[in-house]
Amino acid sequence: KQEVTQIPAALSVPEGENLVLNCSFTDSAIYNLQWFRQDPGKGLTSLLLIQSSQREQTSGRLNASLDKSSGRSTLYIAASQPGDSATYLCAVKGNTPLVFGKGTRLSVIA
Amino acid sequence: EPEVTQTPSHQVTQMGQEVILRCVPISNHLYFYWYRQILGQKVEFLVSFYNNEISEKSEIFDDQFSVERPDGSNFTLKIRSTKLEDSAMYFCASRRDKNTGELFFGEGSRLTVL
């Protein structure tokens, strides 16, 4: 059964800092991995989708990497801003529907 | 930009009452999903729907739950007799391709059972 773990559970950084969020999964037989952002009480906004054949994807200040064989992905946020404060969720698609991690709650302090 | 829309945004109901949550998936998407998130917990899969039938469901999705696509645009989740533990945020999602497509979520419907 696929398990997705995200570390750290919470992170607080000063504005401008570069940061890395980590995601690990137990079953490497995946089709893709998706990173989402969730603001309090709101829905899930898709940030990046990485297919299993890809190593990384970039969107603006965000860069996600995927190492399928080791069951790891990272989300790199450059030059963080207070508006980046949210919970970031990692989710993996294998032969089962999308399986989510519990998320990393990020606070960027001005 | 196309989006998944959900109604209502918040519903309060008494235990034992029936609730219907509604979703309009993105128009050219073929695969539809319901997920839920209990406060402070992970997002959990409930059910997937393709070609007018359930393709997969979790153990959470028991006989109290049902889904329907009554017309060409709406996708509904019905809870027949709500329990306190059904209180959660319910998310509808859709994608175009089963395995490789990006999954798009709606803003969610918050269900509070009293």
Instruction: Identify the band that residue B89 occupies on the pLDDT scale cut at 50, 70 and 90.
Output: very high
- Show the beta-strand stretches assigned E in chain B: 5-7, 10-13, 19-24, 31-37, 43-50, 53-57, 65-68, 75-79, 88-95, 104-105, 109-113
DSSP B88-112: EEEEEEEESSTTTSPPEE---EEEE
Which residue of chain A is at minimal alpha-carbon distance from B89? Answer: A41
Q: What is the pLDDT along chain A (110 residues), one digit of tens a residue?
A: 899 999 999 999 999 999 999 999 999 999 999 999 999 988 999 999 999 999 999 999 999 999 999 999 999 999 999 999 999 999 999 988 899 999 999 999 99
B65 touches chain A (CB under 8 A): no
Which residue of chain B is at minimal alpha-carbon distance from A96? Answer: B56
Interface with A, mutate which of B99, B110, B111 (most A CBs under 10 A): B99
Map residue A82 onto helix, strand or coil.
helix
Q: Is pLDDT above 90 for B8? A: yes
- The answer to whether the beta carbons of residues A1 and A92 sit under 8 Å apart is no
Instruction: For chains A and B, count residue pairs whose Cβ atoms are closer than 8 Å.
Output: 50
pLDDT at position A13 is: 96
Q: What is the DSSP letter of B39?
A: T
Q: What is the DSSP letter of A26?
A: S
Query: Do residue B43 and residue A51 have CB atoms under 8 angstroms apart?
Result: no
Six-digit token string for B60? 């959470």
pLDDT at position B72 is: 76
- Please enumerate in sequence order all residues whose Cβ is within 8 A of that of B72, keeping only pairs 6 or more positions apart, or say none: none
Find out whether the peptide bond into A40 is cis, omega within 30 degrees of 0.
Answer: no
Q: Is pLDDT above 80 for B2? A: no
- Please enumerate in sequence order all residues whose Cβ is within 8 A of that of A65, keeping only pairs 6 or more positions apart, or say none: A50, A55, A56, A73, A74, A76
Instruction: Identify the band that residue B70 occupies on the pLDDT scale cut at 50, 70 and 90.
Output: confident
pLDDT at position A35 is: 98
* Mean local confidence (pLDDT), B67-94: 94
- Residue in A63, A45, A50, A57 with CA at minimum distance from that of residue A93: A50
Instruction: For residue A88, give the amino acid letter.
Output: Y
Q: Is pLDDT above 90 for B26? A: yes
pLDDT at position A41 is: 86
Q: Which helix (H) or strand (E) holds A52?
A: none
A101 touches chain B (CB under 8 A): yes
CA B41 to chain centre: 17
Residues of chain B with C-beta less than 8 angstroms from the C-beta of A89: 43
Residues of chain A with C-beta less than 8 angstroms from the C-beta of B48: 97
Q: Which of A34, A97, A100 lies nearest to residue B102, judging by beta carbons? A: A34
- Residue in B100, B82, B92, B96 with CA at minimum distance from that of residue B21: B92
pLDDT at position B1 is: 72
pLDDT at position A96 is: 86
Query: Do residue B103 and residue A31 have CB atoms under 8 angstroms apart?
Result: no
